[in-house]
Structure 1
């Protein structure tokens, strides 16, 4: 009986679920999840791992196991019948070898999928042969945390223009669906004058399900930073453009993060402008 302590928000818990699922499969153990994770993820997805009640969990002699942030050789043979994992596994290296099963676990409930598709179809009614590009712009606390704590940047206006130009040059009728927890910033900094940009959602981080479903039903993805954007891109498939090298080389963030273990090899990276970090932050 293996489980994982749920922590963090939407993208983090998806990563924890997928990692638990894959490691239990690899080590031939039965995985269970706690009710909090089940309630959180089952609002969107047809997850299949059984739920472990708190009453039963309290009686089990758990062996605690701190996970690395990416797959390591030691994870292939984990000993113990009652393992409780912890940590923030954020890497495709844990589960990408069973991608079809993972995406099946994160298949949407019919009503959610229908609503997301209906939203996109209503936009497409004004165009022909549409290619949807989901654009996730992570802002919120990262506006301050990334430069002040992690010595990094988040997606700026220039990066988004470069990424959107890539898809405009490749697809004649590309439509950009922008989702963000800083939608006001997006409306101010993303040029919508061409008529191919639509700002979606209200950025309510407490209820991210609708925004996430819309992104995941697009054909391709532009992401900035964060696990929410990663999972939307992972489920959507297609081409993905991401913000690469968004931290200084001495960033403490790199102790828990590897670019090559987070972004898939086939995804397309655009280097960030790190010049704002070279100016002393008050």
Structure 2
């Protein structure tokens, strides 16, 4: 009896190992499994697959289309549309968003259709914030991209065309100009540049998001970023937009210029702007906090700023892209060793001319310098002993 029980246990372990192995292979190849299942049970899908093969075999000259499934919110929609245009151009396909897509309510998109193209074949991009070169060589047939396609590299070669395409509807553009001047009019009239600060907190503070690798940029990062920007553009005003504006009011405080810049630098600012009163150098750099409850209101003002400080996420990313100025981003995202950290390629997500800063940006530079000096001295002493 005991021997029979051992045999049954060994058999059960083998069965479990086989099931686990099959499950793992099915998960790794889940897109292929889904495709095979749909091919077997869905006649219309099977017909589409055959039609796609005809494109390859017969080299038909009819246009091929590529579209993108709705994913996320405004920043993700903008990545989807922009990357779609670049991918389409690289493949010689016609891109489109459905006219019902919510992005159309903000922008006058040129590439839209009222109904989907026929026989769409799914292509997947599972990696966020990463450039996937295979997207630039799509299979034949009408394609629907499902996933992220979140990289500036997809559309870097069509940027001029893309900026022409992504035009805000006139009534929204007029409203944004009025809102911008309502918040910043006196500062703009005084000749100050406007530097935006976008702070995303909200959903990235949840335990679930943090487990994946999301995080928020802390106060120290914004302190460093403001000092960095003011050394480049000292006569400025900051505009803060956030989903947690009360935290920003309590934590984001610009420095006093006199504590940051040399007398020579202050004298040059005064010389370049004769109307400036010297007393402003003894005060904190002005800051305006947007208390709008509309994400679009905040976004439309971010687009109009001269330069940008961003934290995490695609919302601030696109506000900075539209502004076209100097951009600083938080280098502490995603959390090291997390799922998103393994999936993300920062070089693919952040343009090469944007500047990465962390909470200890200035300290790190100083520490590196002293370490270099220390080892140089030690090496010199060894040589001359």
TM-score higher than 0.5 here?
A: yes
The Cα offsets for residues 8-28 of structure 1, whole Å up to 9 and x where unpaired, read as 101001111111111111111
The Cα offsets for residues 202-258 of structure 1, whole Å up to 9 and x where unpaired, read as 344xxx222111001101000000000111111111100000132343111123311
- Structure 1 residue corresponding to 2:87, chosen from 23, 27, 37: 23
- Decide whether the 8 Å contact of 2:220 with 2:359 is kept in 1: no
Instruction: Tell whether 2:339 aligns with 1:252.
Output: yes
- Decide whether the 8 Å contact of 1:6 with 1:36 is kept in 2: no
Task: Determine the structure 2 residue equivalent to 1:33.
Answer: 97
- Structure 1 residue corresponding to 2:355, chosen from 249, 268, 274: 268
Which residues in structure 2 correspond to 1:189-228 (within 5 Å)? 189-191=251-253, 194=284, 196-204=286-294, 208-228=295-315
- Superposition RMSD on alpha carbons, in Å? 2.1
Taking the aligned partners of 1:152 and 1:72, their CA distance within structure 2 comes to 22
Taking the aligned partners of 1:203 and 1:256, their CA distance within structure 2 comes to 33
Superposed displacement of residue 201, structure 1? 4.0
Superposed displacement of residue 145, structure 1? 4.9
TM-score normalised per structure 1: 0.86
Instruction: Tell whether 2:127 aligns with 1:63.
Output: no
Instruction: Tell whether 2:242 aligns with 1:184.
Output: no
More helix, by proportion: 2
Q: 1:268 to 1:62 in 2, by over 3 A?
A: same
Unaligned ranges ≥5, structure 2:
1-64, 255-282, 361-385
Q: Greater relative contact order (Cα 8 A, min sep 6): structure 1 or 2? A: 1
- Structure 2 residue corresponding to 1:49, chosen from 103, 111, 114: 111
Larger Rg, first or second structure (1 or 2): 2
Superposed displacement of residue 167, structure 1? 2.0
- Structure 1 residue corresponding to 2:324, chosen from 234, 237, 255: 237
Q: Secondary structure, in 3 states, of the residue corresponding to 2:94?
A: coil
Q: 1:248 to 1:120 in 2, by over 3 A?
A: closer
Superposed displacement of residue 152, structure 1? 4.8
Superposed displacement of residue 177, structure 1? 0.8
Q: 1:22 to 1:121 in 2, by over 3 A?
A: same
How many residue pairs get matched? Answer: 264
- Name segments (4+ residues, structure 1) moved above 6 Å: none
Instruction: Tell whether 2:168 aligns with 1:108.
Output: yes
Unaligned ranges ≥5, structure 1:
274-282
Task: Determine the structure 2 residue equivalent to 1:2.
Answer: 66
